[in-house]
Structures are given as structure tokens and as C-alpha cells.
Amino acid sequence: MYAEVIVDVAAYPIDRPFDYSVPVSFRALIESGSRVKVPFGNRQVLGFVTALKSETDVPAEKQKSIGELLDIEPVLTREMLALTKWMKRHTLCYEIDALQVMLPSALRAKYEKVLRIVNKNAELPPSIQALFQQKESVELKADESNEVLSTIKRLVKEDILSLETAVKQKTAVKKVRMVQVNADSTHLNTVYDNISNQAKKQKDVVKWMLDHAGTRIVSTDLLKLLNITNAVLQEVIKKGAATFEMEEVYRDPYANRTIDISSKLALTNEQQVALSEILHAYDAHEAKTFLLHGITGSGKTEVYLQAIERAILDGKEAIVLVPEISLTPQMTNRFKERFGAHVAVLHSGLSTGEKYDEWRKIKRGEVKVVVGARSAIFAPFQNIGLIILDEEHEATYKQDDTPRYHARDIAIWRSEYYHCPVILGSATPSLESYARAKKGNYGLLTLAERPKKQALPEVSIIDMREQLKNGNRSMFSLELAEAIQIRLDKQEQMVLFLNRRGHSSFVLCRDCGTVVECKNCDISMTYHRHQERIKCHYCGEESQVPTLCPQCNSEHIRFFGTGTQKVQEELARLFPAARVLRMDVDTTRKKGAHEQLLQQFGEGKADILLGTQMIAKGLDFPNITLVGVLSADTTLHLADFRAAEKTFQLLTQVSGRAGRHDKEGKVIVQTYTPEHYAIQFAQNHDFVPFYNQEMMNRKQYAYPPFTYVVLIQFTHEDVLMTAEYAHKAANWLRENLSDTTDIIGPSASSISRVQNRYRYQCLIKYKQEPTLPEVLQQLTRMYRTDWMKKGLLMSIDLNPSSIM
Ligand code: ADP
Ligand code: ZN
Ligand code: ZN
């Protein structure tokens, strides 16, 4: 018997399965999707079995055999193995990268196999008893005989034993010490009688045990309950009244929270229509994708919840993706509130151990719903009934590192595998998705009203150029300042939003206009006020703020631009009584900080929530009646064809934070380009007119969704080499792709140097290019076998979320 194994070495010539012979001892157990340890070159590496077969082309003298089988239950299903092949072809990644991305990091780390008795009443065969030698759990060694291993496999299937891959390091399966009281009361009586009357405490304990023969209780709980010391308990245990046992528990990030169970709401007509269309496809086992386009606060989440409820009732599972889960605790809680312990939460804020525990709950089918960020799309469910992507337009669904997959594509792939619907939800759908819905490729569902008919907030656009002309040099327009004062007087809350993407506070010479740039990267250094230092956000370089201009020696060098800290200071000056909470990368570094800040705000402990992008979504507080956008323009000027779309989305999302409940909301948007259509349409929350206008522009310049785009980036320490290879690649692509395909560039990237590496890029724009995967694969091959050795790095990003 032979196994095809993908080994944990990401390099071109190795990106294929290698044949290994399967030792007799593993034959009954090994399956596709199991992890193995195999010799590779002169070392041992982790590998994944992707197929089993009875013959190999490898000559006998060259054959190597599998060193160790790490899983009795494969960690990857057949579905996942098939998905890997698809990812390899469509994202041009190494197969090993695709395999690894599906697993929690704990399974990529160190491991040991632990065998445990689950059912204590079952009679174990002698060979297995010998293994345990009275113990409750043992490490399973690789050298057990085939017979023993088959027996173990059977007993695991029968739930008599459990076999876990326990992770060494800190992230091991978490255990608590339990006291298992002897079930035999005659025996307990004897123990009781043998304890001398002086040892009163011990007698008390055994007396309690007599009343609770056979009980199992957490050791520390028992100490508390009986008010005894550990020493007393130890004595009693020594005498045989009970035993200590370690029991596996899950780390529960939600343990200390009480969550009320919510019941389902009576749907509005629009919600009802949407739900029944989804359930219709669900009942028909149709792999249909729906775009649920609903204005902010229109009750999309309630539709998700009720659709999921149906899947759960049928014993099926649901995956819910949210853009960045630590930013949206309110959203997560709504799933917990509805489905309680059926919900697992996967997000980047969890420790490796917590993630591993959630993953195991999913794999074992102990939960039915997963709520998580991008990588949760790989949740190892095996009976999926529904997949949901909330805020489907968000760029975070695309992984910008290899494997460069989009969660939406994986969702649709899995829905085809399970014949179940996908729901893409958004108030501001991506142009691609809306275009597909209009063409009928997706089902279009619309929620045009809020459930209680609350009006969308009124949006005022303030022209900041006028403010300046009238002598107002503050970052607050008169209108915004006045609106803030009114809310403070009425004790209502507000959100101030600073759009900082592609924009930061930099140090500028007022005399010659020099901006202090990083010496490794062609990008301005960011000013950090609290440390009085400047830092490069690309390479980490940092230094003192210069006191003299490096160019002209002027002393008039100081920082420029607006950071949240600066806004906070300005607020303190203008509204000394206002209580301000600041939420940005600096104040949310600590685990759970987002949630804490939001909770404080929800409890009314602050008047103003001031923040960056991270406060744009998910916030839902009844007392927010004002949203202020300090400068709408910064995303507009990105060198990216999605700049207008991103601006429109951001403005619409932040506006949606105001007036979601009974109180009316108002939005004030400050801008230097009030005439821009993205800002104009956002003022009226007009997605469809925005879509039409933006589609005209995209059509004119042949950008997606009218074409597909591939971004290829080249970096090298030598600028000439960078340009040379970029040209080589572009020319090669021109020769090998059809005439209707555009190859734009190569040209220097908009950030033309990072960490001393020069950056060039070229863009492929195509409508139809059936051989593209093969052509790109061939390019990749040239790169991996030759160019890479010359120090070039090349990356290929299909459907990039940004082309900067
Ligand atoms: P979205 O996800 O579209 O932004 P939500 O699902 O958060 O909207 O709904 C906004 C508010 O409306 C929430 O407070 C929610 O509880 C409430 N809501 C949703 N559906 C209904 C309904 N059918 N009846 C009453 N209230 C509803
Ligand atoms: Zn100067
Ligand atoms: Zn730098």
C-alpha cells in the first residue's frame, strides 16, 4: 500500500504528491486527510495524505515509508482535499499552503497523541488494558501493533475510548482536576471506619462521600464545598475513598458572560419574502447564491437568524462570516442570544488553544453554527445547510497573502458541494455582486425599509473649503461644532469618524514642503504624538522627530494631518465637559479592548465615540443621534479603481450608525470635494443610482465587473532588476494571452519601495481567457525555477481587493 503525501515544504519542485509506502502497522488506519510524519531529504516533516493506492512508479530501492501516523481520524475531509486542488488552481498557491490554511494553527504545531477512556463501564480487551495500566489516559506511541491500533480505532468509533491530538506547548487541551468518588459504599464504609477519630476533617469528607458515592466533582469545588484543605483531600484519596482524574474542558471565551436568549421576531413583509425565497432554495437543495441588499438597520440579521434556525431544526449546520469579528461583538452576541451553546465563535482575538477548542467542537458536530472572520469559511462541518457572508463587500474577505483566496468564492464552492444556498448580505454590495444579481446569476433580495419604518438619518455635506475661506481653520466646521454642543446639552451620544485610510499624520517642512520619508521605503513616516517619535508603518523603522528640516534646515518642521489623538485634544479644547472615548489601533491593542470600549459607550459612560474605520460597522446603540465624518475625501484619492466605491460604502456604513432606534439621527459629512458623486449619492443613501454611475465609469475604463483583473507584483533590491523582470513577465504574458486581453504596465507601484525593495507591478485585464490558469502557472514555474534564484519576488493576485 502506498500513500500520496503533500509535504510541508513550500517550494516549486516539491509542490506535488510524493509516494510513500505505508508500513503494515498503519494500513488499517491510514486515510486520506490524515497527517503523517515522513522522511524528506535528511529530515522528518509533516505531510498530508491525499490519496492511497496499491502501486507506485517509484523503484523499490528508492521507496521511503511513512514514519508516523498522526491522526486516527483524518483532520481533513475529502471535501477539503478537493477544495485544496481548486484553490491551488485558482489562487496559484502551493498545495501545502492551501492544506494548512484550513486547519487551526494548533494542528500545525507540535503534537502528542493521547488515548483516553471515555466509557468507564465498558470492558476493555486485555491488550488495551495493558496499554492503560490502571491509568485513565496514556500517550499513544507510534510503535503499537496493527492489531492494537485497529482495536483502538473500533473502540474510538464506539465512544469507549477517545484519541486526541494533544498539542504540546501552552495550547494543549485544557484539563481540570476532578475528584471521582468511589462508587462502592461498602468500601467507603471500611475507609471511614479505619480513619482515627482524631482526624475529624477526614471523617467528614468520607462521610460526605458516602452520601455521594460515585459522584464526580471538580476538585477545587469540593474543597470549597466542604471547606477543607487540599492536604485533607489528599489523605482521603490515599486511603482509596476517591481518585483524582484529569478531565478535558473547553476554554470558553464567553464563559463569564450571561447571555439572554432572544426569541424570533415577527418578520416584516420584505423580510418574509426574502426568507421564503432563501428557504425555497434551501428546501430544493439548490446551490443558489442570494444577494440580500438591505439598507442599514433593515433587519438582514433577523433574516439570517431565521434561515439558520431552519437549518438547525433539520440537523444541518450554518457558517456565518463577518468582516472583522472583534469589531462587531454586538453582531456575534445576537447569534449567541438566539442559538446559545449551538454557536462557536472563531476569530483572531482567540488564543491558539481557544481556537483549537472551537475547531474541535465544530469537527465533532457539537455546535451547529460558526460565526467567524474570513478563515471560518473552512469550518470543518460536514452537513452544511447555509452559508452567510455579512457585509459581503468588505475587502477583509480577501486574504492578501498566499493563499490569496476570497471567502465568497470558497463559500460558493462549498455550497455547490453541499447543495445549499449562500446569502451575501450588504447595504452597499460590491459592484461585482450587484452586477451578478442584476444579471440573474445571484438571486436579488431587497429590504428597502427599516422594520419600524425609522427614517434613514438626514445627511448634511459641509464644504470645508468654504469654512477655510470664512476663517475657520479648525477641523470642526461650525455646523458640526454646533451639532455636537446640542447633543451634549441633550445628553445624547455621538460618533465621530476619522477616515484615515491612505492618510496619516506626517512631518512636513512648512518652508520647503519636504515630507519626512522612511529611508527604506518611499512612504512618509507617521507621527506618533505620545512618544514624540516618527515610525514607518511598512518596515517598522522609527526615529526622533527632526527639529530641523533635513532638506533646508528650516526650524518650521512639524507634523501635519489629523490623527485621532489630535482630534481628541481639539475636542477637549472646544468641549471641555465632553467625555470622549477614543477607539483606534493604539487604544485597542489589548485583547478584548474593543469590546470593553463599546460596552462603556453602550452604558452611557461617554458622550462621544471617536474612532477610525473600526467604528464604521456593526454599532447599534439607541442613544446615538449624531454621526460626524471629519473628512470624507481620504479614500477618494487612492490610486485604485475602487476608490469611489470604497468611499461610498464607508459613508453609507457610518451614516447607518445614527438613529437606528426611536430617536432621530443626523449625519454631518465634512469634505473638500462635495461635488463628487460618491459623496452626493451617499448623502441620499442612494445605492442604485451610485451603482449606475459607477458602472458607467467602470465600463468606460474597462474595469471590473466588466473585466477581470489580475495584479502581478515584482520586488527586488535592485531597481533595474525589478524593472527588467517586470518587463520580461509582461512581454511573456502579451505573447501568451489573447489579443483582447490588456496587459497594463509594468510600472512602479504607488508605494514604489518597501523595506529597501523596489516594487513594480503589472495588471492583466481580461474578459475571457480560458487558458489563464495554465499561463499563470507557467509564469509561476519560470519564476520559481529561475527568477526567484536571482532574488526576485513575484506575487500574483487574481481579483485583487486593491491595486495599489
Ligand atoms: P441590519 O443587519 O440590516 O443592519 P438588524 O438586523 O441589525 O439590521 O436590525 C436592525 C434593528 O431592527 C435591530 O434592533 C433588530 O432587532 C430590529 N428588527 C429586525 N427585524 C425586526 C422585525 N421584524 N421587527 C421588529 N424589529 C426588528
Ligand atoms: Zn525644509
Ligand atoms: Zn519603512
- Atom of ligand 1 at shortest distance to CA of 266? 23
Handedness of CA 28, 33, 37, 38 (dihedral sign): positive
Range name among 123-132, 168-177, 305-314, 491-500 with the lowest pLDDT average: 168-177
Bridge-based pairing of strands 608-611 and 708-716 is unpaired
421 prior amide bond cis, ω within 30: no
Average pLDDT over residues 226-252: 84
Grid cell in block for residue 414: 462549498
Q: How far apart are CA 648 and CA 652, in angstroms?
A: 6
Give the per-residue SS3 of 605-617: CCCEEEECHHHCC
pLDDT tens-place string over residues 611-635: 887 776 667 777 888 999 988 876 6
User: Which of 98-112, 501-515, 550-564, 685-699 is the most confident on average?
Assistant: 685-699
The pLDDT, as a whole number, for residue 455 is 81
Q: Give pLDDT tens digits for 573-591.
A: 999 999 999 887 777 777 7
State the average pLDDT for the chain: 86
| pLDDT tens-digit readout, 255-303 | 555 555 677 888 999 999 999 999 999 999 999 999 999 998 899 999 9
Give CA–CA dist 98/76, Å, rounded.
12
| CA 334 to ligand 1 center in whole angstroms | 11
* pLDDT tens profile 654-669: 888 777 667 788 999 9
Among 260, 263, 301, name the best residue to mutate to test ligand 1's pocket (greatest count of ligand atoms within 8 A of Cβ). 301
pLDDT reported for residue 667 = 92
Measured in Å, residue 374 CA sits from the centre of ligand 3 at 28
Q: With 70 as the cut, is the pLDDT of residue 27 above it?
A: yes
Look at the alpha carbons of 48, 52, 54, 58 in this order and tell me if their dihedral is positive or negative: negative
Q: Is 329 near ligand 1, meaning CB less than 6 Å away?
A: no
For 770-802, the pLDDT digits (tens) are 889 889 989 998 998 889 889 999 999 998 887
Q: Residue 743 corresponds to which amino acid?
A: I
Q: What is the pLDDT of residue 716?
A: 94
Nearest CA to ligand 1 atom 5: 299
Number of the ligand closest to the Cα of 536: 3
Assess whether pLDDT exceeds 50 at residue 170. Answer: no
C-alpha angle 190/191/195, rounded to 5°?
Answer: 115
Q: Which ligand is nearest to the Cα of residue 534, counting in written order?
A: 3
> Which amino acid is located at 617 in the chain?
K
Q: How many CB atoms lie within 10 A of CB 387?
A: 29
pTM of the model: 0.78
Give 438-481 pLDDT, tens digit per residue: 999 999 999 999 888 888 889 999 988 888 788 887 889 999 99
Nearest Cα to 431, choosing from 674, 675, 701, 618? Answer: 701
Looking at the CA of 620, name the nearest ligand: 1
* Ligand 1 and 294: CB distance under 6 A: yes
Q: State the cell numbers at 769.
A: 481567457
Region 151-155 average pLDDT? 87
Residue 514 Cα, ligand 2 centroid: separation in angstroms? 5
163's enclosing H/E stretch is strand 161-167
Name the band, by pLDDT with cuts 50, 70 and 90, for residue 502: very low
Residue 767 has pLDDT above 90, yes or no: yes
Task: Write the secondary structure of 12-54 as one string of H (helix), E (strand) and C (coil).
Answer: HHHCCCEEEECCHHHCCCCCCCCEEEEEECCEEEEEEEEEEEC
Ligand 3 centroid, distance to 535 Cα (angstroms): 8
Asked whether 298 lines ligand 1 (CB < 6 A), one says yes
Query: Cα separations (Å) of 506 from 214, 296, 474?
Result: 69, 35, 18
Residue among 94, 97, 52, 49 at smallest CA distance from 76 = 49
Q: Report whether 796 contacts 714 (CB < 8 A).
A: no
Among 62-66, 120-124, 409-413, name the one with the lowest average pLDDT. 120-124
What is the predicted pLDDT for the residue at 171? 40
Residue 503 has pLDDT above 60, yes or no: no
pLDDT on residue 166: 52
Lowest mean pLDDT of 75-79, 200-204, 618-622, 694-698, name the range: 618-622
Q: What percent of the chain has pLDDT over 70?
A: 91
Specify the pLDDT at position 639: 62
More confident residue, 18 or 528: 18
pLDDT tens digits, one per residue of 721-741 = 999 999 999 999 999 999 899
Ligand 3 centroid to residue 719 C-alpha, Å = 17
Could you give the 3-state DSSP secondary structure of residue 480?
helix
Centre of ligand 3 to C-alpha 223, Å, is 57
Q: Is the pLDDT of residue 597 over 80?
A: yes
Residue 174 predicted with pLDDT over 80: no
Find the ligand nearest to 539 CA: 3
State the pLDDT at residue 671. Answer: 86
Residues ≥6 apart with Cβ < 8 Å to 135: none
Please identify, by atom number, the ligand 1 atom nearest to the C-alpha of residue 268.
23
Q: Which of 510, 551, 503 is nearest to 527 (CA)?
A: 503
User: Which carries the bigger pLDDT value, residue 488 or residue 142?
Assistant: 488
Closest CA to 578 of 609, 611, 620: 609
Select from 644, 134, 236, 234 the least CA-distant residue to 428.
Answer: 644
Cα distance between residue 326 and residue 356, in whole Å: 18
Q: What does the pLDDT read at residue 37?
A: 87
The Cα–Cα gap between 178 and 774 comes to 58
Going from the Cα of 7 to the center of ligand 2, the distance in angstroms, rounded, reads 55
Question: Does residue 602 carry a pLDDT above 90?
Answer: no
Tell me the per-residue pLDDT of 108-131, one tens digit each, with 9 for 90 and over.
Answer: 745 567 788 888 888 888 888 888
34 lines ligand 1 (CB under 6 A): no
β-bridge pairing 161-167 and 111-117: antiparallel
pLDDT for the residue 169 = 37
Over range 303-328, report the average pLDDT: 90
> Cβ of 696: how many Cβ atoms within 10 Å?
9
Low-confidence winner among 28-37, 61-70, 120-129, 538-547 (lowest mean pLDDT): 538-547
pLDDT of residue 560: 63
- pLDDT band at 327; cut points 50, 70, 90: low
Higher pLDDT, 10 or 623: 623
User: Quick one: pLDDT at residue 537?
Assistant: 67
pLDDT at 566 (0 to 100): 79
> How far is it, in rounded angstroms, from Cα 158 to Cα 119?
9
Is residue 493 scored above 70 in pLDDT?
Answer: yes
**For residue 165, which of 362, 365, 366, 357 has the smallest C-alpha distance?**
357
CA distance 18 to 7: 8
Alpha-carbon distance of 400 to 417, in angstroms, equals: 25
